[in-house]
Chains A and B, each alone.
Chain A
Amino acid sequence: MRSQLGDLNLYRGELVRLAAMDPEQDADAFARWSHDSEYRRLLDSDPARPERAAPIKADMEKRAERGDDNGFGVHTLADDTLIGFVGLWIASWTSAEAFVGIGLGDRAYWGRGYGTDAMRLALRFAFNELNLRRVSLEAFSYNTRAIRSYEKAGFRREGTQREWARRDGRRWDVVSMGILREEWERASV
């Protein structure tokens, strides 16, 4: 289809595409990933806890009903496997800022550019569709692979919340990162 808009297919990257979450199809994969404690402890600060598919499915259904959820499944272009998710949480419409969260549950795709590609799609959606001015994220200081990927996608470090997390009897910093619309525009021409 032709139009004067640039890239109409907002959801298609080089390696992955973003798709609606499908409670029927996707809950099993999310439950499977939750049994990988390392994945869970890289992902967020909640207690790592193996989960069944049923409550995950119920949660996905609730989000879908709300209709304002900016969460996507990440699928490979090669064979459409669901390998993870990416979601934007609008922190403020007046300040036009969202926080982004991303996770690749399928370890086979770690360290190969799939996450960076999904993040680039999330940023394009944030800036070109949601018209945001800034996208932010937080990462554990021990999650060095993720931080590298975020830098590749254009995020800059803005500081660290010292000793925020306690895991394995140690304290860890949480790194704050952000990307501004102008920075993203400059990087994407």
Chain B
Amino acid sequence: MNPLFESPRLRLAPPDPETDAAIESAWTHDGAYLRLVDTAPARPLSPSQVKKKYEQLEKEKEKDFYFAVRLREKPVEGPEGLGRLIGFVRLFWVDWMHGAARLNLGIGAPADRGQGYGSEALELILRYAFEEMGLHRVAAEAAAYNTGALRFLERHGFRVEARRRQAVARDGQRWDQVMYGLLRSEWEALRAAAAVPAGLAAPQSNGAQGG
């Protein structure tokens, strides 16, 4: 089995209040980041408020799977360290009975964006959602002004399921909230298509399975 928490460059780990709170606090002083990451009123948080948030998440961990996204270190020798915090990824509102959850993801510092870390973290969390948690579907949402997020979700196979008209007010305007969904079957098909060279993808290919 492939490791669940590591990709070539990233690692999913629990947040560490001692080292992470100050970094996440710095992200929340960037209003632009907060207005892309969700639709709650943007509000800067002190490190101690971030710590409280981590404690709250710990209490709700049956329904809220929150991971710190860390850059993997290349150890010179000895065990690999935890690595620098660059973002978070989260499956929340987990409904075990129906097999559904909602996704949120953010890369905190502007310097860390645009390098494919979001895609890499998304691949990890989707595999975790479908193969570890056994979910049937994962939903995500983005305000219509957040064109980067809309493109990101569509590029990774999420389908538009609903447009909640004028559900977000910002800068004196009202914006639709676009609701996305990805089913397990769709994710499996995307994965199979990505893993198999095009010439072998035909259904009648005789036993050409990955090994």
Contacts and interface: CB of A to CB of B under 8 A. Distances in A.
Interface in B85-111: 95, 97-100
A133 interface: yes
A166 B136 CA distance: 10
A97 B179 CA distance: 16
A22 to B, nearest CB: 31
A169 interface: no
A88 B161 CA distance: 24
A95 interface: yes
Interface string B21-46: 00000000000000000011100000
Nearest to A175: B162
B97 A136 contact: no
Chain B interface SS verdict (over half): strand
B50 to A, nearest CB: 21
A176 B177 CA distance: 12
B164 A45 contact: no
Contacts, number: 70
A166 B165 contact: no
Contact of B98 (A45, A95, A136, A158): A45
Contacts of B99: 166
Given A47-B97, A178-B167, A163 B183 contact: yes
A107 interface: no
A162 interface: yes
Nearest to B95: A45
Contacts of B164: 136, 158-159, 176, 178
B51 interface: no
A136 B167 contact: yes
A180 interface: yes
Q: Which of B97, B162, B183 has the most CB of A within 10 A?
A: B162
Interface string A153-167: 000101111111110
Given A95-B168, A171-B136, A161 B161 contact: yes
A36 B173 CA distance: 45
B169 interface: yes
B137 A163 contact: yes
Contacts of A95: 39, 167-169, 174
Contacts of A17: none
A135 to B, nearest CB: 11
B136 A162 contact: no
Nearest to B42: A94
B81 to A, nearest CB: 40
B181 interface: yes
B167 A97 contact: yes
Interface string A84-97: 00000000101111
Contacts of A75: none
A165 B100 CA distance: 8
Interface of A: 45, 47, 92, 94-97, 133-134, 136, 156, 158-166, 171, 176, 178, 180
12 contacts: A45-B95, A92-B40, A94-B41, A95-B167, A95-B168, A133-B166, A159-B160, A159-B163, A161-B137, A166-B99, A178-B165, A180-B165
In order of increasing CB-CB distance, the 4 nearest A-B pairs are: A159-B162, A176-B162, A95-B169, A158-B162
